[in-house]
Structure 1
Amino acid sequence: MNRADFLKKISGAAAVATIGGLTCGYSKTSNDLPAWPLPDLKKVFPDPVSIRSVELLKLKEGSEAGRLLLVVTAKDGAQGMTLCNDRMPNLISLFKGLVKPHFVGKDARDLPVLADNAYRLNSNYKYAGMPLWNCIGSLELATWDLLGQLYQKPVYALLGKSVRSSYEVYISDFYRGGQPMEAVVDRLAQKLEATGATGVKIKVGGRMANTAEDDKRTSLFVPMVRKILGDVVTIYADGNGSFSCSEGINTGKLLEDYGVSIFEEPCNFEDEDSIRQVNQALKKIKLAGGEQDTSLYRFDRLARTGVCDILQPDLYYNGGLLRTLQVAEIARQHGKVIAPHTPKADPLIGPFWQFAALASNLYGLQEFVMNPGSKSPSWYSPTIEVKNGKMSIPNTAGLGIVYDTKFITSAEKVG
C-alpha cells in the first residue's frame, strides 16, 4: 500500500481506535463540553480597555497585614481588584512568570481569551492544576471587577440575567477534636441563633486520614449534633477525604441514620471509583465533591459517571468566574447541581456573590464562616453578614467589594 492509499484509508477513522477489544472515541474536545454563553464585551465597551498594569500587593496595615491584593489598572486609571486566597503567597513566582504576561498590555474585553491563553500558550498547560488555575482565576476575577467598575454595575450584569438576590446559608465548623464536643455544639447553636441560619456543616473523620480515635469521635459527635440542635436543623458533613471506600459507606450510613443531607468528599478526592461506590451504596444522602479539582473534563466525568451529585468548584482554584459557570452548565446537562466551595466571610466572597446571582442550579444552603465578636472591618466594605439566615447579594459595581485606598497606597508590591 502506498502512502496516498494509506492516508485515504485512515482518514475516515482518525477519531476512533480499538484497544484490547474496546472502542475508544477521541472526539471529545473542550468545545464539546457545555459552556456558559460568552458575553459580547465589545458591544458593552465600544472602545478598547487596555490593561496598563497588573500588581500583586502585600497589605501592611492593620490586622490584615501580609495578605495579598491583586490590582488590575487600565490605561485610563480605572482599577479592578480582588483579595487573594491563602494559596497565592506560595505561587508568586508562577504568577509573575507564567500568568501576568498574558494580561498586561492586552484588551480586557478579550478576557475569556486572555484566561485561556494563560493556560494554553508557552506550554503553560504543563503546569495545569490548582497552582496555575488559582493564579489565572485570581487575575480573571480582578479583571472582571475592572470591567464591572467601568460598567458601573455588578459583574453578574455582564454575564447574564440574575436569578436571585440572596441565598440561604449554613454555618460551618472545623472541629476535629481537641475540645469537649458539647462546647462545640453549643457554639454552633449560638451561631445559628445569632444569624438565623437553619443549617450547619460538621467535620467527620481525621482529614485525609481516619484513626480509631477519629472514628470514635465521629460516632459520638454526629448523634450529639442532631440531638442538641434538633430535627429542624439541616446538617451537612465533610469527610475531607478521610475514609476508605468501606469506611465511607459505613460513615455515610451513620450520617443517613441521623438525617444528614450532604456527605462531602468521603474518600480521597482523586479516588473516583471509591467515591462512586460510596454514592451507589447510600440512598438517602447526596455526595458532594470537586473542591480540589480544576479540570473541566474531570468535572464532566464526576457528574456523568455518578461520582458526585453536587459539584463544588472553588472560584479561585478553578480559574475564575467563567470556568465555574461552565462547571454549573456541565452539572446541569447531567442533571446535577452545584454548590461552590466558598468558606469565606471576607472579600473573597465577592466572586461567589456574582456566581450565586446567575446559577440556576445552585443547590441547598451555602457556606458561611462566622467569627462571633469580630469587629466590622476598616479596610473594606460592606460588612459581610447574614440576616435571618440569608446573605444578600450586593448590587454594587464590580465584585461588590470597596477597598479603603489607604491600605492600597501603603501596600508593598511583590508581583
Structure 2
Amino acid sequence: MMNRLDFLKTLTATAALGLTGAAPRPATALAAADALPTWPLPDLKKAIPDSVIIRSVELLKTQGRMLLVVTAENGAKGITQCNDRMPNLTSLLKGLVLPHFVGKDARDLPQLVDNAYRLNSNYKYAGMPLWNSIGSVEIATWDLLGHLARKPVYALLGKPIRTDYEVYISDFYRGGEPVEGVVDRLAEKRSATGARGVKIKVGGRMQNTAEDDRRTRQFVPMVRKKLGDAAVIYADGNGSFSTKEGIETGKFLESYGVAIFEEPCSFEDEEGMRQVNQALSKIILAGGEQDSSLYRFERMARTGVYDLYQPDLYYNGGILRTLQVAEIVRQHGKQFAPHTPKADPLIAPFWQVAALAPNLYGLQEFVYNPGEKPASWYSPNIQVQNGKMAIPNTPGLGIQYDEGIWKEAERVV
C-alpha cells in the first residue's frame, strides 16, 4: 500500500516526466500566460462528417429515475440518467440551458457548453446547479455522438490507456445500527467483489458531535482489525471537522493505516484544508467533489489544498470539463479520482474518463448491494469481478436501454 511519502515522490516524478502517455497540451493552452491547461479538443467534424442537428432535449421520468434524452433530426438519440439533484433544477435546465443546445449542431459540443455558461448572463448562475444542468446535457450529447460514430465516447476524446480499473466498496454508515454488523457487512462485500479496499464515513457530515467522534474512534480500529493489514481503507469526512479536529482525526486515521482522508473540513474552507494537509505526514488528502470552478481547481492544486482531486462528472459540467480538471491538476503534479459512487447508468460517463486520464489514482468508488437483482431496463449488468470494473468498448457511453421503458415515461421538461 502506497503511503503518503511514496505518493508525493510519485507526484514529483510524474510531474517532471510529464507523465508518459499523457494527452499533450494543445498550443492554445499556452497562448496566454493565464490560460488554464485544457484537454485537447476532438475534431468531431472529422469523426462525424454530416451535421448532427439537435431536434429536442427531453427530461423524462421512468423506472423511478430521470433520464435526459437528446434527439437528433435523423432520430438518433443520446441518453444519460440524471443524478438526484436534477428534480430541483428543472426550471434552470429548461429556461437557461436547453436553448443553447436545441437546433444546434451537436458536433460543436464544446462551444455549446461554453455558450450555455457565458451567454445571456447565464454565468451569473454559476455553480453546481448550473453546471449540473449543463453537464447532464453534455453527457447525453456525447452518447449521441458516440452512437453516430459507432465508437465509445472515449475514442472520440483520445487514445485509451486502460480497459479496466480497481475499485473500493463504499459504505455510508454514520450510526443507527450496531457497529459490529456494519464491519461484518464491509468484510462480506469485500469478499464478494474481490475489492482490495473500502471507504468508510467518519464524523457526522458537516458536523462532529461527541457521539460522532466516539463512533469514529470505535469504528476505524474495528474495520482495520476485521479486514486485516493488507486491506486498503479510505475515510470520508464530508466536511465534518474544524481544522483542529481535522488534524487530530487525520493523525488518528494515520495510526490505523488509512490511506486517504477525503474532505475533512468544509469544502469552502481552503485554508483550513491546507493546514490539515500540511499537518499530516502519511495520509493523502482528497477533495473537490463539490467544486465546479476550473480556476478554483487550479488554485487549490497550485497551493496544495489537496493531493488528490475528485470532481463529480455531473456537478462539474460533464466529461470534457472533468478531463480538463485532470489536466489542470496534472500540471501541478497532483492526482485525480472523479467522484462517482454509483452502480447504475450514472457510472457510464466515468468509464469514459477513466479510460483516458493519465493521472487516475488509486481505487475507484463502487456501491455494491448484496442480493440486489440486476436491473432489467438497461444493460450491461454493472458488476465488479476480481476487484476490477471493466470499461465497456461499445458505442456511446456503453449503456443500452430497453425500448419498452419509453412507453410509460412521463415528460418532465
TM-score of the two chains, using structure 2 as the length reference: 0.92
Q: 2:44 aligns with which of 14, 31, 41?
A: 41
Task: State the alpha-carbon separation in 2 of the partners of residues 103 and 78 from structure 1.
Answer: 15
The offset of 1:29, in angstroms, is: 7.8
Three-state SS of the structure 2 residue aligned to 1:32 is coil
Q: How does 1:264-413 map to 2 (within 5 A)?
A: 264-413=262-411
Residue number in structure 1 paired with 2:35: 32
Pair 1:58-2:61 in alignment = yes
Deviation at 1:28, TM superposition (A): 11
Please list the CA deviations of residues 351-371 of structure 1 after superposition, one character each: whole Å capped at 9, or x if unmatched: 000000000100000000001
Structure 1 gap ranges (5+): 1-26
Q: Work out which of the two has the higher radius of gyration on C-alpha atoms and give 1 or 2.
A: 1
Equivalent residue for 1:233?
231
The one-letter code matched in structure 1 to 2:355 is: A
Q: How big is each residue's C-alpha offset from its partner over 1:240-267, in whole Å with a ceiling of 9 and x where there is no partner?
A: 0000000000000000000000000000
Counterpart CA distance in 2 for 1:268 and 1:234 is 25
Residue 408 (structure 1) shift: 1.8
Aligned residue in 2 for 1:7: none
1 CA distance for matches of 2:33 and 2:83? 27
Taking the aligned partners of 1:383 and 1:46, their CA distance within structure 2 comes to 33
Match of 2:11 in 1: none
Alignment partners' CA distance in 2, 1:271 and 1:299: 13
Structure 2: distance between partners of 1:168 and 1:318 = 23
In structure 1, the residue corresponding to 2:225 is in which secondary structure?
helix
C-alpha separation between the residues in 2 aligned to 1:118 and 1:89? 20
Report what 1:145 is aligned to: 143
How far, CA to CA, are the matches of 1:396 and 1:278 in structure 2? 43
Partner residue, 1:109:
107
1:122 to 120, 123, 130: 120
- What SS does the aligned partner of 1:106 have? coil
Superimposed CA distance per residue, residues 60-88 of structure 1 (whole angstroms, 9 cap, x where no aligned partner): xxxx32x1100001111100000000100
How far 1:347 sits from its partner (Å)? 0.2
Determine the C-alpha separation between the residues in 1 that align with 2:91 and 2:102.
16
- 3-state SS, counterpart of residue 116 of structure 2: helix
Match of 1:3 in 2: none
> Quick one: which amino acid aligns to residue 273 of structure 2?
I
Query: Secondary structure of 1:367's match?
Result: strand
Amino acid in the other structure paired with 1:124: N
SS of alignment partner, residue 135 of structure 1: helix
- Partners of 1:186 and 1:224 lie apart in 2 by 10
Q: Which amino acid aligns with 2:315?
A: Y
Distance change (3 Å), C-alpha of 1:249 and 1:104: same
Aligned identity (percent) is 76
Q: 1:28 to 1:222 in 2, by over 3 A?
A: farther
Q: Distance in 1 between matches of 2:341 and 2:91?
A: 26
Moved over 4 A (4+): 27-31
Q: How does 1:198-209 map to 2 (within 5 A)?
A: 198-209=196-207
Tell me what 1:4 maps to.
none
State how far apart, in whole Å, the 2-side matches of 1:82 and 1:409 are.
Answer: 17
User: What letter corresponds to residue 88 of structure 1 in structure 2?
Assistant: M
3-state DSSP of counterpart to 2:251: helix
Q: Secondary structure in 1 aligned to 2:361?
A: coil
AA paired with 2:111? V
Q: Structure 2: where are the runs of 5+ without partners?
A: 1-29
Amino acid at match of 1:337: Q
Aligned length: 384
Aligned to 1:192, the other structure's residue is in SS state helix
Q: 1:255 to 1:201 in 2, by over 3 A?
A: same
Query: What is the identity, as a one-letter code, of the residue corresponding to 2:339?
Result: H
User: How far has the Cα of 1:414 moved from its partner?
Assistant: 1.1
Report how far residue 409 of structure 1 moved: 2.9
SS of the residue corresponding to residue 164 of structure 1 reads: coil
TM-superposed CA distance for 1:210, in Å, is 0.3
Q: Deviations over 1:358-396 (max 9, x none)?
A: 001000000000011001111100000000000000001
Equivalents in 2 of 1:45, 1:350: separation in Å?
22
Q: Corresponding residue for 1:10?
A: none
How far is the alpha carbon of 1:46 from its aligned partner?
1.5
Relative distance call for 1:127 and 1:49 in structure 2 (3 A) is same
Task: Name the amino acid aligned to 1:338.
Answer: F
SS at match of 1:162: coil
2:23 is matched with none
Equivalent residue number for residue 85 of structure 1: 83
TM-score, normalized by length of structure 1? 0.91
User: Structure 2 counterpart of 1:42, which letter?
Assistant: K
Counterparts of 2:307 and 2:255, CA distance in 1: 19
Q: Summarize the alignment of residues 136-215 of structure 1 with structure 2, pairs less than 5 Å apart.
A: 136-215=134-213
Distance in 1, matches of 2:335 and 2:169, equals: 20
Q: Per the alignment, in what secondary structure is the counterpart of residue 131 of structure 1?
A: helix
- The alpha-carbon deviation at position 45 of structure 1 amounts to 1.4
1:13 paired residue number:
none
